[in-house]
Amino acid sequence: MKNTSILLRLWGDYACFTRPEMKVERVSYDVITPSAARGVLEAIYWKPQIRWCIDRIHVLAPIRFMNIRRNEVSSKIAVNGPRKSMKDGKGRLGIYVDEDRQQRAAIVLRNVEYAVEAHFELLDKSEHPKKHYEMFKRRVEKGQHFQQPYFGCREFSCNYEWQDPAEISHCPESLQGQKDLGYMLHDIDFDEECTPRFFRAVMTDGVIEVPPFHGNEVLS
């Protein structure tokens, strides 16, 4: 493992890693996406001098889906609306939830548990990697975070703890063998006008190898 590598155990009651091809109802991917895992790490420890990269995802609990209904707003705030209101000095700057609420069905995951292997890259070469590694580990052990980590939706909170590689649980029997999960969102390329990038996720005995973000296996 690299000297910037970490292993974190994540678990929670519910999760929803929404497939982008579903336009109305939310339908979750089978497992956590690399971008969602990165979001958990950044919620715990984010610094402009480093960039988190997900290397491997261990699925430690059987994949179970359930149907729920959630309250959501039915519209978005257009960019030009607040600008015009601020220029004119009148108008609405936001959305009133009570007037814009609607119920939508969602297919979510329940009782999820993962072990995420990741490392960070230094964006500032004057920084020392050990400093950031120790600060991250200390924050994990104390349960500190900048904001509550969550699994896809903010109401689905994520628990976390430092994981010893020798203590990773064996994958459930239902996950043994090889399973093709299809194309999965890797992350968003913010340098290319927020372009989503995807990779072919294959789970082998509960483990998904995540290719490098700019590797040949990742497609726009």
Task: Express each pLDDT in 44-75 by its tens digit.
Answer: 999 999 999 999 999 999 999 999 988 878 77
Q: Residue 33 and residue 58: Cα distance in Å, rounded?
A: 12
Residue 13 binned pLDDT confidence (cut-offs 50, 70, 90): very high
Q: What is the pLDDT of residue 3?
A: 65
Mean pLDDT of 150-175: 91
Q: What is the pLDDT of residue 2?
A: 56
The angle formed by the CA atoms of residues 170, 133 and 154, to the nearest 5 degrees, is: 65
Q: What is the pLDDT of residue 21?
A: 86
Which amino acid is residue 108, in one-letter code?
V
Sequential DSSP letters for 87-115? HHT-S--S--HHHHEEEEEEEEEEEEEEE
Mean pLDDT of 150-161: 95
Q: Are 209 and 118 in contact (CB under 8 A)?
A: no
Q: Residue 60 and residue 139: Cα distance in Å, rounded?
A: 23
Q: Could you tell me how many residues make up the chain?
A: 220
Over the stretch 83-133, which tens digit does the pLDDT of each residue have?
777 788 777 677 777 777 788 889 999 999 999 999 999 998 888 899 999
Q: What is the pLDDT of residue 98?
A: 76
Q: Residue 28 and residue 215: Cα distance in Å, rounded?
A: 25
* CATH 2.60.40.420 matches 5-71+107-209: no
Least confident of 3-7, 84-88, 117-121, 180-184: 84-88
pTM of the model: 0.86
Which amino acid is residue 63, in one-letter code?
I
Least confident of 27-41, 45-59, 148-162, 179-193: 179-193
In this model, does residue 1 exceed pLDDT 60?
no
